[in-house]
Structure 1
Amino acid sequence: MKPTILLLIILYSLSACQSKQQVTESISTIDSTLQANVTSVLESKLSEINAQSGQVIVMEVQSGQIKALVGLTKKDSADYQPCENVCVQQPTGLMHPVSLLAALETGKVKLEDKVDTGNGIYPVGNETMKDHNWHRGGYGEITLQRGIACSSNIATTKTMEMAFGDNPQAYFDLLAKMDYGKPDSITGIANLQPYSITETDMIWLSIGYNQFISPIQVLTFYNAITNDGKMVQPQLYKDSVVVINPQIASKASIDSLKQALAFNITDGLGQPAKSEKVTVAGKQGTCQVSTNEDGTENKSDTEYAVEFCDYFPVENPQYSIIVSINKKGLPVSGGLMAGDVFRQIVDNIISYEE
């Protein structure tokens, strides 16, 4: 065969491969019907609670394919407009299960272990930590599983003290080993920044503060829990599955945490996310993301993030979902607000697929 003909064949083959790759990458994973339905549900809830903005991401558990990616923000009027940047980073109220998983990995704690949360007020250095029901006398002595179901900051703090004692570096090492905060980039999503920590204080970090993380990075970690420990890369274009971490934690620790997340829906503050159509598991969270300009708290312009994240069906997980809503002023509730959006979306998907 002449060299010129051989060269043409090689060039044609390379061109065909590149064209095939471009076609593959251009096929979106987004389900347009689901995208429209999710947008409607989120917009209705944002309007109902007069929120500033909100995001919802629906992802297939095993493939990481994103089926819905919705970001809405309030403009000058009362209307909500699509927000292209769905990568806003801020503290998260969904950190408690992450910290519990790290604690379980040490082998020093179990779900049935008990901690005394007292009256809901606990001194931490020069500051004071409070559970959301401190004004009602706190939760007293509860199991670690109940601590997750109650979203008890103090239960998580005492769990960290039991598991890591005076060695907080072991906690940070486990977070890194579990690839918490990944990925650093996703094709098709602009402005995603690497996860970052502002202060190396184990206690406050363990309940979600002193860090900047985006909802899609939180979802990636929760999806790994759902996926029996395998962390996969979220993707907006249909392609082969990319594994970030084949096993973020031991099967025993993962199973214990999934048990706690299911218990949270049946017996905890996650009950507003419970569906009558399918079994779900998940975690609600609320955290303060800003204060007034003068530094005071609990005023009308203090901003909070209310969130809910996780998966369904419990027996054979197909989808993981995160709902993240930013709202100024009280009242705020991850379960009642974000959890209700989660439930509506789950029911919508089930009805759509029937």
Structure 2
Amino acid sequence: MAVPGRATRRRIVALLALYLAAAAGLTGRIAYWQLVRGEELSRKGEAIRRTESRIRAHRGPIVDRNGQPLAVTVTAEAIWANPRDVEDKEGTAAILAAILQRDKADILQLLQKQTYHVYIARRPTEAQVAQVRAYKARGELKGIELEPGARRVYPEGDLAAHILGFAGIDNQGLEGLELRYDEQLRGKDGAVLYEKDARGYQIPEVPRAIEPPVPGLTLVLTIDKSLQLVVEQALDRTLDLTQARRAAIMVMETATGGLLAVAARPAFDPNLGGQSDPALRRMWLVADQLSPGSVFKPVTMAAYLEEGLGTPTTPFSDPGCFVVLGEQICNWNHRGFQGTLTDVMRNSSNVGFATLGIRLGRDRFYKWLDRFNLTRPTGIDLPGEARGAQVPRERATDLDLAVQAFGQTLTVTPVQMLAAVNAIANDGCWVQPHLALEFRTPEGEVAFRPQPVRRCILSPETARQVQQMMTEVVRAGTGRSAAVPGHEVAGKTGTAEKFERGRKVEGKYIASFLGFAPVPNPRVTVLIMIDEPQGLTYGGQVAAPVFSQIIGDILRYLEVPPTSDPGGNPAPSGPGAGGTQGPGAPAGVPAPGTPAGAAPARGRGRVPDPRGRAL
């Protein structure tokens, strides 16, 4: 037998060495993939096989303070397609276009996508869903499916639309309270985890893992639906009468700062979502900086009295007009009088309040602007809040102080002004305006209650003095049209000039009334603003009568007993003293405890005609 030569043996050894090196390299590589990167690769493989199907959480409802629904989530179905399963794309697109009232080309473009899932309509109507279901029952529309889902619905239409806002099709809040409290309302989505094969289909042998969704909380508002109806009806009638550009009413619970009703006109339907007019959706009561006009005057008076510069009986001589730094300031009627500071308030004297502003001086005047929270946002729980603007303190002259003291040239938001005068009504304590009363779990338990800011800025004695001075405005001054038979009410009229791009616009005004009732111990503070009324323009002519009507309804609803009969005599007490309607039953308002759904239909009714009345 031949013995291999040395060269052959070397070749064998070399080949064996190469084999062993390759084996060692392969073993090392396998060890690297298995031991070093094994866990990572396993995760990647699972990620490729496993997929997640989201289970949307139920968005929490929004209800009024009595549990009446204002925003709810209802079961709805979306229409989607698997384009790979649609055989007759042209015919399917034509049928869907007719059902959905959409362009056929747009739907055909969706059906031609190379994907397994595409939405055709995310928010179809019930009638459209029914038509699709009927076609499928006949074996048509292959590849078109219905997907269970949810839709946000506002059952009262445009009622309280500006504060509610609306939510989008993906369960996210987009405006108003829906946006502000989106995190609390939307809950936490769940998921279904399963494995799929190379074609994207679920592997039935592999068990699914389910993570259940957590539903959102219920938002309970300070709003009272019945009072909201009263306010919105009053606004509709006021716009009809005045032909104003826009109007608004805010009703605040004096002691707490909770808003019982907030309404603005023109309105929009939140069920339309983003398809509604953005201009109509603007919440100008918190976003617009406006000259307050004479409704600002109680702030100046409160500051003057609190600084110890005068009392309600301090004498005052009003010449009707006077000159400050070369500029003439006059009363609205150019008439003067001899009287007291109470008469200054009663007559809404521009000369009087200009004088008080100058006497206060720059440091004290601006200090009180800050104390009344007019230099910063209130913190109301609505998005987009602005803050007022004033002449910069370091540049303010006596003329600036004089004009700002009666509510011109400086600007505030309506909600700032409401909260400031509410501090006077609340015996000197400023409370943060707010809409959220509490949040509840799906089981009905209270999850948490927001705590509004509260700070006392005036002595109770000064606040009550200004309250009494404001009752004189209604009793015998510019606000006589705001009087409510049987109740003592306080308020201040306002007629503010309008400015555009820094220039006064002739013939355009904002008529307003800001008041509270009853006095003493007010329960509600109300702001009424009518922007660009046609014909009569003074707040005492246009806004004060509306205040009289809605305050009467509100006090009856809150079961506040009258303090006198319509003739001014003390009111009778005992059973039947409230009259034939009884307490809590104003015209058009259900009494507390009325069953759900028994609220009166919204519509037109009587509105006071302010024509020919005093300012």
The bucket for the TM-score relative to the shorter chain is 0.7 to 0.9
- Does 1:208 pair with 2:413? no
Q: TM-score, normalised by structure 1?
A: 0.82
- Does 1:130 pair with 2:330? yes
Match of 1:116 among 314, 317, 328: 317
Shift of 1:69: 0.5
Match of 1:317 among 502, 513, 522: 522
Change (3 A) 1:218 1:242: farther
- Does 1:173 pair with 2:367? yes
Superposition RMSD in Å: 2.9
Match of 1:147 among 334, 337, 344: 344
Match in the other structure for 1:95: 296
SS in 2 for 1:95: helix
Change (3 A) 1:204 1:90: same
Match in the other structure for 2:482: 273
Contact 1:185/1:193 (8 A) holds in 2: no
Change (3 A) 1:53 1:261: same
Shift of 1:115: 2.2
- Does 1:219 pair with 2:425? no
* Matches of 1:82 and 1:342, distance apart in 2: 25
Match in the other structure for 2:353: 156
Match of 1:237 among 420, 436, 440: 436
Shift of 1:218: 0.6
Contact 1:85/1:191 (8 A) holds in 2: no
Change (3 A) 1:168 1:330: farther
Change (3 A) 1:232 1:121: same
- Does 1:308 pair with 2:524? no
- Does 1:193 pair with 2:386? yes
Match in the other structure for 1:7: none
Contact 2:378/2:432 (8 A) holds in 1: no
- CA deviation digits over 1:18-52, x for unaligned, max 9? 999x636x112221221122111112112212211
Shift of 1:177: 3.1
Change (3 A) 1:245 1:180: farther
* Matches of 1:98 and 1:29, distance apart in 2: 26
Shift of 1:251: 2.2
Contact 1:53/1:74 (8 A) holds in 2: no
Change (3 A) 1:157 1:39: same
* Matches of 1:351 and 1:113, distance apart in 2: 37
Contact 2:513/2:547 (8 A) holds in 1: yes
* Matches of 1:294 and 1:198, distance apart in 2: 13
**Quick one: which amino acid aligns to residue 337 of structure 2?**
G
- CA deviation digits over 1:290-337, x for unaligned, max 9? 27x996764xxx321111112111122111111011115653111221
Contact 1:116/1:142 (8 A) holds in 2: yes
Match in the other structure for 1:48: 241
Match in the other structure for 1:8: none
Match in the other structure for 1:35: 228
**Quick one: which amino acid aligns to residue 419 of structure 2?**
T
Shift of 1:249: 1.3
Match in the other structure for 1:250: 459
SS in 2 for 1:27: strand
Task: Give aligned-pair identity as a percent.
Answer: 24
Change (3 A) 1:196 1:115: same
Change (3 A) 1:67 1:202: same
Change (3 A) 1:127 1:241: farther
**Quick one: which amino acid aligns to residue 105 of structure 1?**
E
After TM superposition, the structure 1 = structure 2 runs for residues 332-347 of structure 1, keeping only pairs within 5 Å, are: 332-347=537-552
After TM superposition, the structure 1 = structure 2 runs for residues 8-27 of structure 1, keeping only pairs within 5 Å, are: 23=217, 26-27=219-220
Contact 2:242/2:534 (8 A) holds in 1: no
After TM superposition, the structure 1 = structure 2 runs for residues 74-85 of structure 1, keeping only pairs within 5 Å, are: 84-85=283-284
**Quick one: which amino acid aligns to residue 168 of structure 1?**
R
Contact 2:473/2:480 (8 A) holds in 1: yes
Shift of 1:186: 1.5
Match in the other structure for 1:58: 251
5+ residue gaps, structure 2: 1-183, 189-213, 269-279, 439-448, 559-583, 585-615
* Matches of 1:124 and 1:74, distance apart in 2: 43
Change (3 A) 1:178 1:245: farther
Q: TM-score, normalised by structure 2?
A: 0.49
Match in the other structure for 2:160: none
Match in the other structure for 1:5: none
Contact 2:254/2:425 (8 A) holds in 1: yes
Change (3 A) 1:249 1:334: same
- CA deviation digits over 1:56-81, x for unaligned, max 9? 00111112111110011399xxxxx7
Contact 2:513/2:543 (8 A) holds in 1: yes
Question: How many matched pairs?
Answer: 321
Contact 2:378/2:433 (8 A) holds in 1: no
Q: Which stretch shifts more, 42-51 or 197-206? A: 197-206
* Matches of 1:174 and 1:222, distance apart in 2: 13
Match in the other structure for 1:12: none
Contact 2:516/2:526 (8 A) holds in 1: yes
**Quick one: which amino acid aligns to residue 326 of structure 2?**
N
* Matches of 1:29 and 1:181, distance apart in 2: 26
5+ residue gaps, structure 1: 1-14, 76-80
Contact 1:304/1:329 (8 A) holds in 2: no
* Matches of 1:85 and 1:91, distance apart in 2: 13
Match in the other structure for 1:107: 308
Shift of 1:228: 0.8
* Matches of 1:221 and 1:241, distance apart in 2: 21
Shift of 1:192: 1.1
Shift of 1:112: 1.2
* Matches of 1:260 and 1:241, distance apart in 2: 34
Contact 1:230/1:243 (8 A) holds in 2: no
**Quick one: which amino acid aligns to residue 323 of structure 2?**
P
